[in-house]
Amino acid sequence: MGKEVNGVSRSRFEMFTNSDEAVINKKLPKELLLRIFSFLDVVTLCRCAQVSRSWNVLALDGSNWQRIDLFDFQRDIEGRVVENISKRCGGFLRKLSLRGCLGVGDSALRTFSQNCRNIEVLNLNGCTKITDSTCNSLSKFCPKLKHLDLASCTSITNLSLKALSEGCPLLEQLNISWCDQVTKDGIQALVRSCPGLKCLFLKGCTQLEDEALKHIGAHCPELVTLNLQTCSQITDEGLITICRGCHRLQSLCVSGCGNITDAILHALGQNCPRLRILEVARCSQLTDVGFTTLARNCHELEKMDLEECVQITDGTLIQLSIHCPRLQVLSLSHCELITDDGIRHLGSGPCAHDRLEVIELDNCPLITDASLEHLKSCHSLDRIELYDCQQITRAGIKRLRTHLPNIKVHAYFAPVTPPPSVGGSRQRFCRCCVLL
């Protein structure tokens, strides 16, 4: 190979012959064309490669293929495509998404790992054919890996986490949601050797118990995001350890973890002042007492999902309206004790005028048109959910829209007697509802 110019060998430039008479090829240096191609997506690069011999060389140069996402391009690819990509890109490739590529398996990813040793971000979400063998390959050949998504790769076990802990010490983000064979042993091995972990997604890892959380709390001081949705075995004991060890925590999801109580809200308030996102849907033991402590200490809260926190009342909304001026998204669906008075406080709070964008009030039977009047000064409000709020009327929604003409209102009104079905075919929507 000859001397390289901006990453392209001189011998490659020699492939451009005088037969390329296009004006753009005459006027622009090949280095500049290569730079232009570097901004194109996969589809456009492939099209450019078919224009001429010279453009084919430039478009397929490895330096243009540093970031590849095949999700919107072609998901029914076979393993050989990944192997060809890895050979073409080699050490240039930094980021690859094979999300949803069901035909890609361990063999192709071993070839990929061997050729693309500088990979930093790899998305294998939904690649259900891969097993622990893929993680062994990544551990052996890809020490620079920082972000890895293995969600829904259900064959992954503790062996994968142990392999990653040995070969990928720079790992910052790992998604193993729905990898339900993982237990505390795998988590322990991972966090002990990857102290820089910032984001950990464990949604649907149903075997995890408090012991796993204690390992995370003890070894992940940099943790910013933790998702434990539907990890139904965890309790306050494990989560309190997380709060005490992970003071930088900004996002926590424990929706569906029905064993937790106000103790976790107190722990968050005392230890995690940077908290911005809290999702506690279906955590029915939480009360106004816990949310009061949280609101008074976590002033940076932006998104809260309190769906089916059935014990909370207007008291929680009063505290949020006073202490959480950055609140943007709030779900109160199925919080049946919420009334117009709570919405009144929220609508007059500091978050209302410039911040609040979404409020969900589905199945809140005490909410009336008065709540819509309280929200009409929320100029940033983009969406409101009102399904099965039986005291909300069309007239109330119409009045709200005179103040907020661009707001999306999702609601329905069920007639007393369902109208008869027309014809014998099954309708695609509920005939009892008139959708707005």
Distance set, CA 288 to CA 57, 314, 328, 334, 343 (Å):
65, 8, 20, 15, 15
In a domain? residue 398:
yes
CATH number assigned to the domain comprising residue 400: 3.80.10.10
Amino acid at 400: L
What residue numbers bound the domain in which 55 lies?
Answer: 23-63
| Maximum separation of any 2 CA atoms in the chain, in Å | 82
> What's the confidence (pLDDT) of residue 139?
98
- The predicted-structure confidence for 196-243, as pLDDT tens digits, reads as follows 999 999 999 999 999 999 999 999 999 999 999 999 999 999 999 999
d(CA 300, CA 224): 14
Q: How far is it, in rounded angstroms, from Cα 319 to Cα 312?
A: 12
Residue 144 and residue 139: Cα distance in Å, rounded?
10
Does residue 243 belong to any structural domain of this protein?
no
Q: What residues in the chain have per-residue pLDDT under 70?
A: 1-23, 26-27, 42, 72-75, 414-436
Domain membership of residue 370 (yes or no) is yes
Environment class of residue 117 by beta-carbon count within 10 Å: exposed (0-12), middle (13-18) or buried (19+)?
middle
300: in domain: yes
Phi, psi of 294 (to 5 degrees): -60, -50
Handedness of CA 43, 48, 53, 58 (dihedral sign): negative
Q: Whole-angstrom Cα distance, residue 395 to residue 436?
A: 12
What's the domain count of the chain?
Answer: 2
Q: Under the phi-then-psi rule, with left for phi > 0, alpha for psi from -120 to 50, and beta for the rest, what region is 6? A: left
352 in a domain, yes or no? yes
Supply the CATH number for residue 47's domain.
Answer: 1.20.1280
Per-residue confidence (pLDDT) for residue 18, from 0 to 100: 45
CA distance 418 to 215: 55
Please, is 92 exposed, middle or buried when counting C-beta atoms within 10 Å of its C-beta (0-12, 13-18, 19+)?
middle
| pTM to 2 decimal places | 0.86
Residue 96 β-bridge partners: 68, 122
- Residue 274 belongs to a domain: yes
Whether residue 381 is contained in a domain is answered as yes
Q: Are 227 and 204 in contact (CB under 8 A)?
A: no
Q: In b/e form, how buried is each residue of 9-40, taking b as 16+ CB within 10 angstroms?
A: eeebbeebeeeeeeeebeeeebeebbeebbee
327 within domain boundaries: yes
How far apart (Å, rounded) are the C-alpha atoms in residues 247 and 224?
9
